[in-house]
Structure 1
Amino acid sequence: MKKFLNIITIFLFSIASVAQDGEDPVQWTQELISTGEGDYELVMKGTIEEGWHVYSQFTAEGGSLPSEFTYVNAGKDYELVGGTLESETQKAYSEIFEVEETFFKKEAVFRQKVRLLDPDLKQIQVELFYQVCKEVCIPKDEVFYFSLDGQEIIVEQETLDAGSLARAEALKLNLKNKEVLREVSSDSEGNESSLLVIFGLGFLGGLIALLTPCVFPMIPLTVSFFTKKSRSRTKGIVDASLYGFFIILIYFLLSLPFHVFDSVDSQILNTIATNIWLNLFFFLIFVFFAFSFFGYYELTLPSSWANKMDSASNRVGGALGIFFMAVTLAIVSFSCTGPILGGLLGSTALAEGDVAVNLSAGMLGFGVALALPFALFALFPAWLQTLPKSGGWMTTVKVVLGFLELALAFKFLSNADLVGNWGIFKREIFLGIWILIFLLLALYLFGVFRFPHDAKPSKLSGTRKATGLLASVFCVYLLLGTLEVTNLKLLSGFPPPDFYTLAEQESDCPLGINCFKDFESGRLYAQQENKPILLDFTGWACVNCRKMEEHVWSDPEVFRLLNEEFVLISLYVDDRKPLPEEERFRYQFDSGRIKAIDAVGEKWGTFQTINFNAASQPYYVMLSPDLYVLNSSIQNTDSDTYESWLKEGISNFRAYQRNIAVSDR
């Protein structure tokens, strides 16, 4: 797992490098050599820039990714004679992966002999996937076309079949009064409020990280270093403040690679956040983080990284030296901060809005909280005397964090179950597991059992008892919610929705409202009933969608309006249920990019993007059955605003009907 975390770190910085670096560090050329009687040798030569290297096909397993060749139509149009030969390689031991890796420097040459099976073959296509590395590794693809008749290479462009074109055209709505949507495309105040909440969560995470044994003992040591080393108190304060600024900068920069995804596809972050396998991966990672906090093992980045940063800080000095000291802190404290940052990443993935912006806000808050003590204690060194002594209480903090990580892990498992429509991890099961987790937390805090690295406490502190009592009260709250004695509005969005239960339900729609999950069938029903449509773009794993349903839709007047005055069409953009074979198609965006629409959620996510230029959930639109937009769109809001919005839409619908009736006379 330590290797895997290292790979993740390299991958994130790789994305950033790709975004910033427009030039390719490897320039490829090709040559076709005829060896007679239908035999050829394909030669692919890469010239590698100084300092970079490319990995061999045969580099050790468990290390960096090897070069891989795909010979298109091999075995059909031609056959391969032997394997792909390589030019001279070099070997070096990787401390990150702990294996000996094989790679090329300056030049990489690959040779493959082929024998034609089709004498009329005009060209051969070869695809190469490889990694080129310096301080970071960049995955690259290269395609080679070899002309066998000396004519110009013809590269086939992907075209859409008639069925795809027809189904794609059917997705586009002929909306009337569409300009109304632009008036309030989103709640900007709500978004700003959401970012402040996420910043606050990051700040809280940073404060908690300060109380861990990886960070807390370093505060007095670092502050003393700056104040004693500097010639004047002012210089010490400036250096400590600069140190704090660099800590903030480092954690903020870690979020920047995620912004690259935004430019790829408006739906890609939603796809990532609701991907079944990624949610299962997060579940396993968070369980792994939890047991590291329980003391069964320790997560550390390679010690050589910290040693190099520390050496650089001593050698360089000045502001750059202080920057390397901040990097050293980030590395050596990773065993405690890593799981907290993982929790922060998970929380932002579940929050409303742009995942990358959320993560930047959270990382900024985390960095500010982590950096604040170094500047404050440098400014007021006498405060150092008031700091509590290091001790077993820091271990208790880690264990409590471990239980919280474990609880969050099951949220991701629940997401995978909801999106995959498995029907296994129902609401009662989820709540039962959470009750067990927080019951164990309470028992631990009351000293009933200990973990391997715990020393037996002489007596329980008041804080520990109070936290144990709080965990016990939370268990009772969850139990009452499971038995439906009370609602769980404080947890809206975290447990599976009310209708996803072991008990038999008349409707699988929120609050039992009659709803449709297909646009055309819902629209046909609205025409028959002569009612306006409430188009609800939602998601199985959408936390804010559950909050709207449980806090706003449950309001008696809002519920009445939804149930009696509208035809509700709920389209789940993260539904991974495969479309029937005859309904699958490929959609070409205006940019020319072609996307395969194979799942229900992909269809409705694309439907939302092309008709309403939006990709967030929840997202609500009111339409007449003949597609007249009745009001501005609205997103996450309060019950009073939502009720007024619904009533205004109903009033506009009736006015629209009257106008049509007059024009038909």
Structure 2
Amino acid sequence: MKIVKHSLSILFLLFAFQGFSQILEPVKWSFDSKQDGKEVQLIFKATIEDTWHLYDTHLPEGGPVATSINYQDTSQFEFVGDLQKNPAPTEEFDKTFQMDLRYYSHEAEFIQTIRLKTADPIAIEGYVEFMCCDDETCLPPTEADFAFALNGAGADQGGESERIQNVEKSNRVLTDKGKEGSTETLWLFFFFSFLAGLAAILTPCVFPMIPMTVSFFMHSGESKIKSRLYAAFYGFSIIAIYTIVGTLVAVLFGPDAANWLSTHWLPNILFFIIFVLFAFSFFGMFEIVMPSWLVNRSDKQVDKGGFLGSFFMALTLVLVSFSCTGPIVGAILVESAGGAVLKPIIGMFGFALAFALPFTLFALFPGWLSNLPKSGGWLNSVKVVLGFLELALGLKFLSIADQTYHWGILDREIYLAVWIVIFTLLGLYLLGKLKFSHDSDLKFISVPRLMMAIVSFSFVVYLIPGMFGAPLKALAGYMPPQSTHDFDLHEIIRDEVRLVSSSGNSIGFGEVNEQCEEPKFGEFLHLPHGLSGYFDYEQGLACAKALNKPVFIDFTGHGCVNCREMEAAVWSDPRVLARLQNEFIIIALYVDDKSKLPESEWVTSSYDGKVKKTLGKKYADFQITQFGVNAQPYYVLTDTNGELLVDPKAYDLNPDNFVDFLDRALEEFEKRN
């Protein structure tokens, strides 16, 4: 029954699946140029991942870092007009910065027209500096290098100049392997796809075909050896058919098509309608089947027997089972359609491997067939449960279109309300309180069915606080953003905490111990809640050695929304405040600070080879090279030699967890002393 439980939740797992790479790179740049005589259009295009946004080129003072285009040498050309932007940026009030900010979602294109001053071929080089955020975190300012090779003003123009793609040294981690996702990510996606294949077996369209398949190979008139050979080829054919579908997706859907599929309203509304239709079909409203002529034509080829017959037997299975496997396969392809090549192939291979496994094994060993449970009402129950999941998960596509085009149809509380109703009805169905027209009579509730009802109702209980503003972080990947919630009690309380914690010097913590130096940059950088600390790693570590105290490294940023939330909701806890002030030396490293460093403090990155000349770039590089992470907040606890005491911690609004994090580090520090 463990497989049954996995099958009922696999679609949820597929949608909940997130990449596990720690180096976040949500904005990809490409560069192109169009030349017409002396005038050239320089085109800077940003492709932005879902839920992330790129800030505009002009922002108010005191806000995040604006996008800027920086040229190494402008002596050989002059600018013609202002920078053109497409589409127009979205403007909204940002609660963190308390100001109106402009940003781009999904994609942005900047076009600068220039006029060449020389007849000789030239190269225009420089970099784009930008900052991006999502609903949970902000990344430090990042640079993307560009280079344009242009013909001279007097040369014979042949249309577009040579296109030089972005050589983004700061994102060297995106090798061919990285573009496809990390090895861990691909293995995890393969595992989820494999579970999806197991789930598909338990659907009413597929399960009854197992004995039919075994019967075909047992009564084919061939010898036992040949029958088993054909059975093995049958399983191979199933895998090949599904994997070919994944390969076609990889070839046909390049990055641009995938971006259109994932962001444009038309495919998302279409996917939403498809999921709803499949849900209605699973509920018994109507039956979705492949065209009879297609199934019949394939079925006729089966009679030929041999390897060809085995192949068409596999093709018939795929076609007949489409009404149940279609939404599962679609979920895998939608999840993988991000411009990658390996991911859809691996996803479909994993699904097909699990899907083909029982058919092949039972065909090879027909004696196992007697141990299978009989087809019956339980199969229809599986189908109805999948229908509820289809209905819930289909809302994700409507939500994407709603957020992208700001329709305001599916705000967070409406989304949650629908989910609460759906999973409540699912729980009632599992308890036998709801019955569809094609359901069998339920004389008693089995233990597995009761357990799944408990899971469904528990999930509803988890969702209810979200109606009042609870962040529901486990679902953040596919919930509408918190900013769309009209009544956010969580935000109201957090604002009160900020007000109290910033009310003055009532907390009364003192300055850094006299044995240590005065903190550098302390005239313009400060810690919250009256805490004292350092903003330079070397200086803070020296103080920790002098006082023999563990180090609390806070990777933070001026534009880090979650950093402010952690400081307001977690650092403000009296237990956390007491430990930070009395037990640790705090080193707050601002990864987006623009302060220039003296040349003696410049560092050359071992990650991207660039010289880091500002405070923010120095410590952004330090975080990446030392810990393999570029997101904030990120908390690292070390001893006086810079060695880790416990595993680092990221965003977590639970003060109890943070207290435990600090206490475990203190215990480890005592052991080392």
TM-score between both structures, scaled by the size of structure 1: 0.52
- 2:365 aligned residue: 380
- 1:490 aligned residue: 474
- 2:393 aligned residue: 408
Aligned residue runs from structure 1 range 183-582, under 5 A: 183-185=172-174, 188=178, 191-229=182-220, 231-261=222-252, 266-315=255-304, 317-349=305-337, 354=339, 357-483=342-468, 488-503=472-487, 565-567=590-592
Aligned residue runs from structure 1 range 580-659, under 5 A: 624=614, 630=621
Judge conservation of contact 2:203–2:382 (CA < 8 Å) in 1. yes
| Counterpart amino acid of residue 301 in structure 1 | M
The 2-side partners of 1:549 and 1:198 are apart by 33
The 2-side partners of 1:419 and 1:200 are apart by 31
Instruction: Quote the sequence identity (%).
Output: 39
Give 1:238 shift. Answer: 1.7
Judge conservation of contact 1:286–1:342 (CA < 8 Å) in 2. no
Give 1:534 shift. Answer: 8.9
| Counterpart amino acid of residue 173 in structure 1 | V
The 2-side partners of 1:248 and 1:537 are apart by 48
C-alpha distance 633-257 of structure 1, shift in aligned 2 (>3 A): farther
Aligned residue runs from structure 1 range 61-80, under 5 A: none
Give 1:382 shift. Answer: 2.0
Give 1:284 shift. Answer: 1.3
| Counterpart amino acid of residue 335 in structure 1 | S
- 2:70 aligned residue: none
- SS class of match (1:173): strand
Give 1:564 shift. Answer: 7.5
Judge conservation of contact 1:248–1:367 (CA < 8 Å) in 2. yes
| Counterpart amino acid of residue 448 in structure 2 | T
Give 1:233 shift. Answer: 2.7
Give 1:171 shift. Answer: 9.4
| Counterpart amino acid of residue 385 in structure 1 | S
The 2-side partners of 1:562 and 1:302 are apart by 66
Judge conservation of contact 2:624–2:630 (CA < 8 Å) in 1. no
Give 1:208 shift. Answer: 1.6
The 1-side partners of 2:289 and 2:311 are apart by 21
C-alpha distance 303-267 of structure 1, shift in aligned 2 (>3 A): closer
Aligned residue runs from structure 1 range 46-61, under 5 A: none
Give 1:430 shift. Answer: 1.5
Judge conservation of contact 1:190–1:637 (CA < 8 Å) in 2. no
- SS class of match (2:386): helix
C-alpha distance 355-641 of structure 1, shift in aligned 2 (>3 A): farther
| Counterpart amino acid of residue 166 in structure 1 | Q
Matched, 1:166 2:112: yes
Give 1:423 shift. Answer: 3.9
| Counterpart amino acid of residue 431 in structure 2 | F
The 1-side partners of 2:212 and 2:564 are apart by 51
Give 1:463 shift. Answer: 2.5
Judge conservation of contact 2:246–2:347 (CA < 8 Å) in 1. no
1:274-296 superposed Cα distances (whole Å, 9 cap, x missing partner): 22232222111111111111111
The 2-side partners of 1:226 and 1:464 are apart by 35
Judge conservation of contact 2:210–2:359 (CA < 8 Å) in 1. yes
Moved more, 441-450 or 625-634: 625-634
- SS class of match (1:472): helix
Give 1:506 shift. Answer: 12
Judge conservation of contact 1:295–1:453 (CA < 8 Å) in 2. yes
Judge conservation of contact 1:511–1:554 (CA < 8 Å) in 2. no
- 1:579 aligned residue: none
C-alpha distance 639-630 of structure 1, shift in aligned 2 (>3 A): closer
The 1-side partners of 2:331 and 2:244 are apart by 18
Give 1:270 shift. Answer: 2.5
The 2-side partners of 1:325 and 1:445 are apart by 35
C-alpha distance 277-232 of structure 1, shift in aligned 2 (>3 A): same
Give 1:489 shift. Answer: 3.3
Give 1:361 shift. Answer: 2.2
Give 1:372 shift. Answer: 0.2
C-alpha distance 239-270 of structure 1, shift in aligned 2 (>3 A): same
Give 1:409 shift. Answer: 0.8
Judge conservation of contact 1:185–1:632 (CA < 8 Å) in 2. no
Give 1:550 shift. Answer: 11
Give 1:230 shift. Answer: 5.1
- SS class of match (2:235): helix
| Counterpart amino acid of residue 389 in structure 2 | L
C-alpha distance 429-224 of structure 1, shift in aligned 2 (>3 A): same
Give 1:239 shift. Answer: 1.3
C-alpha distance 302-392 of structure 1, shift in aligned 2 (>3 A): same
1:290-334 superposed Cα distances (whole Å, 9 cap, x missing partner): 11111111111111111111212323x322221111111111111
- SS class of match (1:439): helix
The 1-side partners of 2:341 and 2:632 are apart by 30
C-alpha distance 320-550 of structure 1, shift in aligned 2 (>3 A): farther
Give 1:474 shift. Answer: 1.1
Judge conservation of contact 1:442–1:472 (CA < 8 Å) in 2. yes
Judge conservation of contact 1:217–1:390 (CA < 8 Å) in 2. yes
1:346-370 superposed Cα distances (whole Å, 9 cap, x missing partner): 4435xxx645533322211211111
Give 1:632 shift. Answer: 8.8
Judge conservation of contact 2:556–2:589 (CA < 8 Å) in 1. no
- For structure 2, the 5+ residue unaligned runs are 1-78, 85-110, 115-123, 130-142, 146-166, 499-523, 527-534, 537-554, 573-579, 581-585, 595-611, 638-673
Give 1:384 shift. Answer: 0.7
Give 1:220 shift. Answer: 1.3
1:40-97 superposed Cα distances (whole Å, 9 cap, x missing partner): xxxxxxxxxxxxxxxxxxxxxxxxxxxxxxxxxxxxxxxxxxxxxxxxxxxxxxxxxx
C-alpha distance 413-534 of structure 1, shift in aligned 2 (>3 A): farther
- 2:69 aligned residue: none
Moved more, 440-449 or 390-399: 440-449
The 1-side partners of 2:615 and 2:299 are apart by 67
Give 1:433 shift. Answer: 1.2
Give 1:639 shift. Answer: 8.0
C-alpha distance 301-246 of structure 1, shift in aligned 2 (>3 A): same
The 1-side partners of 2:631 and 2:352 are apart by 35
CA RMSD of aligned residues (A): 5.2
C-alpha distance 451-260 of structure 1, shift in aligned 2 (>3 A): same
The 2-side partners of 1:410 and 1:448 are apart by 25
The 1-side partners of 2:629 and 2:417 are apart by 30
- SS class of match (1:166): strand
Give 1:549 shift. Answer: 12
